[in-house]
Amino acid sequence: MRAAVIVFPGSNCDRDMAVAFREVTGAETTMVWHGESGLPDNVDIVGIPGGFSFGDYLRCGAIAANSPICRAVVDYAKSGGAVLGVCNGFQVLTETGLLPGALMRNSNLKFICKPVDLVVETTDSIFTSGYGKGQKIEIPVAHHDGNYRATGDLLAQLEAEDRIAFRYAEDINGADDRIAGVLSSNRRVLGLMPHPERAVDALHGGTDGVAMFKALAESLVSA
Amino acid sequence: MKARVMVMLRNGVLDPQGEAVRTALGNLGFEGVGGVRQGKVIELDLSETDPEAARHSVTAMCEKLLANTVIESYQIEIL
């Protein structure tokens, strides 16, 4: 398995994500700077990490979404490539249009940084096949803008298409229907606010993120 | 020529920052503020001299970058 992790100015979870790919999946992992115009050859998955790309100027993820590498990531995803966006990476994915909806300021206006309980809502994806449906897992969050908005008919559509990957067990940020992570229509792109890469080692205080990376290794290696 | 873009959250989208400002105004004793919506103003210096062409170009900028039309609306003023 080969992974690429995108690095923007202001990314700060890029190395954590690379460590998770390397340690849990054994993937050969390449860091790719935002100014690059292409991804490495034969990449099985692209990770878009958390952080504050471009200082969150204008809107979280908006400037990163228009960087040269993101044009390559969009092409990659549209041709069926797997993409995992965490936290700021989720915001970037919504700004590129690869994932629907938008992420707004938390309803209580506070930066929330703590482990939270998530409910696994679907096991039908390369990211979530290692969990049980309805399983509760504990994954850390660290965000100011994680209030997911699914406007118009989007909420019903996500529900009907089984594209809500995770919900918060309890409301933490005002997100519509407590949505913490959503899948693309081809189920190969996942964006989520919680940080699975921060829960892959006993020293992290929890290892509930391991199953996501192991599931990726299994489905992407056999692919 | 200059253009001014005003970006606001769409009607119906809850604005938590505006709500915090409204509460703060109330705490300061300003009465009768029923609602506050907070947005942003972006001023652009353009080399374009034709107002219609400028508006066309700034509209494209709004759709592509300056506003997230999922949750925001925008108004363009050519100055």
B2-78 has which fold?
Answer: Mth169; Chain: A , (3.30.1280)
> Does the predicted interface ipTM exceed a cut of 0.90?
no
CA distance B49 to B54: 7
Percent of chain B beyond pLDDT 70? 100
Q: Distance, in angstroms, between B41 CA and closest chain A CA?
A: 11
Domain ranges of chain B: 2-78
**Domain ranges within chain A, ordered by starting residue:** 2-222
Note whether A71 contacts B: Cβ–Cβ < 8 A.
no
Q: Residue A152: closest CA among chain B residues belongs to which residue?
A: B70
Which residues have CB under 8 Å from B50's CB, separation 6+? none
Residues of B with CB under 8 A from a CB of A: 10, 13-14, 16-17, 20, 64-66, 68, 70-71
What pLDDT is recorded for position B52?
97
* DSSP letter for each residue of B22-34: HHHHHHTT-----
Count chain A–chain B contacts defined by CB atoms under 8 A: 37
Give the architecture (CATH level 2) of A2-222: 3-Layer(aba) Sandwich (3.40)
A104 contacts B16? CB cut-off 8 A: yes
Dihedral over alpha carbons A172, A174, A175, A177 (to 10 degrees): 90
Q: Which residues of A touch B13 (CB under 8 A)?
A: 104, 149, 151
Mean pLDDT by 10 residues, chain A (223 residues): 97 98 96 97 97 96 97 98 98 98 95 98 98 98 97 95 98 97 98 98 96 96 63
Tell me the pairing of strands A82-86 and A136-143: unpaired
Q: Tokens at residue A64, please?
A: 């990163």
- Check if A153 contacts B (Cβ < 8 Å): no
Q: B66 to chain A: which residues are within 8 Å by CB?
A: 58
Q: DSSP strand E in chain A: where?
A: 2-7, 28-33, 45-48, 82-86, 102-104, 112-120, 136-143, 147-149, 164-168, 179-183, 189-192
* Angstrom distance (rounded) from CA A177 to CA A175: 6
pLDDT for B9-62, tens place per residue?
998 888 888 999 999 999 999 999 999 999 999 999 999 999 999 999 999 999
- pLDDT at position B14, please? 85
What per-residue confidence (pLDDT) applies to A222?
Answer: 58
pLDDT of residue B24: 94
Q: Name every chain B residue with its beta carbon within 8 A of the beta carbon of A174.
A: 14, 16
Catalytic residues of A: 87, 195, 197
Q: Do B68 and A66 touch (CB under 8 A)?
A: no
- Assigned token pair, A72: 């390559």
